[in-house]
A and B are shown apart, each in its own frame.
Chain A
């Protein structure tokens, strides 16, 4: 019997994942990856509740359950990377790094050491012969976050949810009376949540207030409390009142200046050429025509890749340094790279 270690986060997706594997006759071991447990100001880290929920479902399914403590490695590989990137004025994607370094490397290796034949997670994606394929539910497809996983890891991975929609998954959860069936979705970076990034960064990075400058006129139009908190293309959160909204069009980290513009079509935030670094391939493209996605759920854009330069068929807004450009050939996710500029 194939022994599968399934990452159980205490959410509905991974609960259904484990349940489906049990039903398909696998010998399933549930694993909670303890990556982060620290509370942040005003935010209680829900890890203990999540762990209890994951275990509860494992008990419900009658499967073995273990906790893998990855806190040190997570801090070193994901959190430190994130902090460094923000410090450098870029906008990193910790979920992508977490998949690359923790879930599909550390978790996989630890599971194999402990007797697993395969691992499984609740990601919405599909695999075939070491290739990564987009999920059946286009709206939930998570391949954007998985493009840095190796083909070898994918060969040893099962994504049972790739053929289902989120609604179907919720329905399966309630049909099976899984304890997590009605649990609220967690949002954003697993351990801080979308709103928490600011508070989180403030803990680790010293920030200074600085000027917000209109790129066209050169006028100071407001103050910010730290350039690292601002992301290219961002509109809200700018404390500059009156008239048309401003958009962030650039940052000067050394001068601690955030540049903004009222021009939605500002050349600063529209790009038809993207320079990539740290390119990773799951499957090498056979033709030079690819489709590219510059953020999760963004529409695919036709492009050609010339060495490390992507030429887009039409301009994309707010292609942000530090974020990823993920390349597709139809349903296949080929890989991608990190936006340099």
Chain B
């Protein structure tokens, strides 16, 4: 057997750590290992480096460093964000990541439906808000379909509700949280433009190390700590800082911000090429999600009648790694709640693949992947006579 090509098309699940990120982290494992809270000079230097990283992170999203809480990944960030609900209620959508849905379940909450393309209707949120609503949490871009939500318009609607409350003298605050993990490097993360009050980011989705993330919260948002201890992160998140992780995260976010425009354009062209190949090579293929309001590197496609999990195994044998959200054994045999929520038929969901492109995807990778996907579909169709 000849050395086969390997094409990774699951950047939405994990991204490789960028070499520059790794290089930035390297000194902090053995040489500069000091606890940033210790009193001697090398520790003080590490403290400065951590705070410098926090500063750089804050700059990429246009906020004050003091309002950035560093966490162990996005799930923790989301769990912490949910505590902003206080004694009020949460509104979120049916297609959110399990980190949001499961956290929301800990509180009084309402789920709103989405359209067949996975888009949230701002009016649905407006209609669902009650005087008891204290937190709205909507992901900036859906991790399965890649659909980008109108977060800015949701923020405007929330501002109108706040104005109403202040006019009638209702004291309950109302906050908007977004998990923007999937959008880093492809979407504008400037908090003032997003209009949110709480923002979650994940280092592992933007070429940084895993188990590093952040929660930004606007001044005035009250959080209840979920991890107690030495009082780090302004008392909101205890535990010795993950120094190499934070340093790496800062570098990763800076690269993402710097390359965003060119990389988004490049990914979109590659994705469109892949989509064209699939549409012309597989007559029964259906493209899911919103065709315009969609992450540049995201392609969600169904081949109804075909078992997508077989596909994953067929493609892995030729070195192409893709995801399926449906009826997957790894998913304990359940269908994706997102695909169910957008009203996808079982057949369409079971035959769906998520292809997500990233920094190392190039023309050759797209050509090879498209070819192998088309071959695999054809051989499955021949086998089952579809």
Query: Residues of B contacting A223 with CB < 8 Å?
Result: none
Contact call B329/A59, Cβ cutoff below 8 A: no
- Would you call A52 an interface residue if the criterion is a C-beta within 8 Å of the partner chain's C-beta atoms? yes
Once the chains bind, are B383 and A62 in contact (CB under 8 Å)? yes
Given the complex of chains A and B, what is the CA–CA distance between A37 and B331 in angstroms?
Answer: 13
Q: A48-B330, A48-B332 are in contact. Are A55 and B313 (CB under 8 A)?
A: yes
| In the assembled complex, A338 has its CB within 8 A of some CB on chain B | no
Across the A-B interface, how many residue pairs have beta carbons closer than 8 Å? 28
Chain B residues with Cβ below 8 Å from A49 are: 329-330
A51 with B329: CB separation less than 8 A: yes
Question: Are A60 and B317 also in contact (CB < 8 A) when A52-B330, A55-B329 are?
Answer: yes
Considering the complex, give the chain A residue whose CB is closest to the CB of B316.
A56
Cβ of A81 within 8 Å of any chain B Cβ, yes or no, is no
- CB contact under 8 A between A52 and B310, given known A60-B317, A62-B383: no
Interface residues in B284-342 (C-beta closer than 8 Å to A): 309-310, 313-314, 317, 329-330, 332-333
- Best-buried of B309, B310, B313, B330 by chain A (most CB within 10 Å): B313
Query: What CA separation (Å) do A37 and B314 show in the bound complex?
Result: 26
> Is there contact, CB below 8 Å, between A52 and B329?
yes
Q: Which residues of B contact A62 (CB under 8 A)?
A: 379, 383
Of the candidates A48, A60, A64, the one whose C-beta lies within 8 Å of that of B329 is A48
Q: Is A65's beta carbon under 8 Å from chain B? A: yes
Interface of A (DSSP majority class): helix
The smallest C-beta distance from B89 to any residue of chain A, in angstroms, reads 33
Q: How far is the CA of A60 from the CA of B318 in the complex (A)?
A: 11
- State in angstroms the CA–CA spacing of A67 and B309 once bound together: 13
Q: Which chain A residues lie closer than 8 Å to B383 at the CB level?
A: 62
Q: Given A60-B317, A62-B383, are A55 and B330 neighbors across the interface (CB < 8 Å)?
A: no
Contact with B along A36-69 (1 / 0, CB 8 A): 0100000000001101100110011010110100
B244 → chain A closest CB, angstroms: 30
When distances are taken between beta carbons in the complex, the residues of chain B under 8 Å from A37 are: 332
Contact with B along A56-89 (1 / 0, CB 8 A): 1001101011010000000000000000000000
The answer on a CB contact under 8 Å between B333 and A59 is: no
Chain A contacts of B329 at CB under 8 A? 48-49, 51-52, 55
For the complex, give the distance between the alpha carbons of A60 and B376 in Å: 12
Contact assessment for B313 and A59 in the assembled complex, using a CB-CB cutoff below 8 Å? yes
List, in ascending order, chain B residues with CB within 8 A of A55's CB: 309-310, 313, 329
Chain B interface category by residue count? 10 to 19
CA distance A37 to B310 in the complex (A): 21
Among B313, B333, B384, the residue within 8 A (CB) of A56 is B313
Cα–Cα distance between A82 and B369 once the two chains are bound (Å): 50
CB-based contact A59/B314 at 8 Å: yes
Bound complex: CA A37 to CA B333 (Å): 11
Using Cβ atoms and an 8 Å threshold, which residues of chain B touch A60? Answer: 313, 317
Smallest Cβ-Cβ distance to A57: which chain B residue: B313
Which residue on A lies nearest to B309, using beta carbons? A55
CB neighbours of B333 from chain A (8 A) = 48, 51, 67
Interface residues of A in 253-284 (CB under 8 A from B): none
| Chain A residues whose C-beta falls within 8 Å of the C-beta of B332 in the assembled complex | 37, 48
Q: In the complex, what residues of B have CB within 8 A of residue A64's CB?
A: 384
Bound: A67/B307 CA distance, A: 13
Q: How far is the CA of A67 from the CA of B327 in the complex (A)?
A: 12
Q: State A240–B294 Cα separation when bound (angstroms).
A: 68
Alpha-carbon gap, A56 to B310, bound state (A): 7
Residue from A48, A55, A59, A65 having most chain B Cβ neighbours under 10 A = A59
In the complex, chain A residues whose CB is within 8 Å of the CB of B310: 55, 59, 65
Q: What sequence of 0s and 1s flags, for each residue 351-386 of chain B, a beta carbon within 8 Å of any chain A beta carbon? A: 000000000000000000000000000010001100
Q: Could you tell me the distance in whole angstroms from the C-beta of B351 to the nearest C-beta in chain A?
A: 15
For the complex, what is the distance from the CA of A284 to the CA of B314, rounded to whole Å? Answer: 49
Closest to A37 in B: B332
Interface residues of A in 84-114 (CB under 8 A from B): none
A52, A60, A65 — which one has the most chain B CB atoms within 10 A of its CB?
A: A52
Closest residue on chain A to residue B315 by CB atoms? A59
Query: Across the two chains, which residue of chain A brings its CB closest to B382?
Result: A62
For the complex, what is the distance from the CA of A55 to the CA of B327, rounded to whole Å? 13
In the assembled complex, which residues on chain A have CB atoms less than 8 Å from the CB atom of B309?
Answer: 52, 55
Q: Which residue of B lies closest to A51 (CB)?
A: B329
Closest A residue by C-beta to B307: A65
- 28 inter-chain pairs at a CB distance below 8 angstroms, sorted by A residue, are A37-B332, A48-B329, A48-B330, A48-B332, A48-B333, A49-B329, A49-B330, A51-B329, A51-B333, A52-B309, A52-B329, A52-B330, A55-B309, A55-B310, A55-B313, A55-B329, A56-B313, A59-B310, A59-B313, A59-B314, A59-B317, A60-B313, A60-B317, A62-B379, A62-B383, A64-B384, A65-B310, A67-B333
B residues with CB within 8 A of A:
309-310, 313-314, 317, 329-330, 332-333, 379, 383-384
Q: Which A-B residue pairs are the 4 nearest by beta carbons?
A: A59-B313, A52-B329, A51-B329, A56-B313
Additional 17 contacts, C-beta under 8 A, given A48-B329, A49-B329, A59-B314: A48-B332, A48-B333, A49-B330, A51-B329, A51-B333, A52-B329, A52-B330, A55-B310, A55-B313, A55-B329, A56-B313, A59-B313, A59-B317, A60-B317, A62-B379, A65-B310, A67-B333
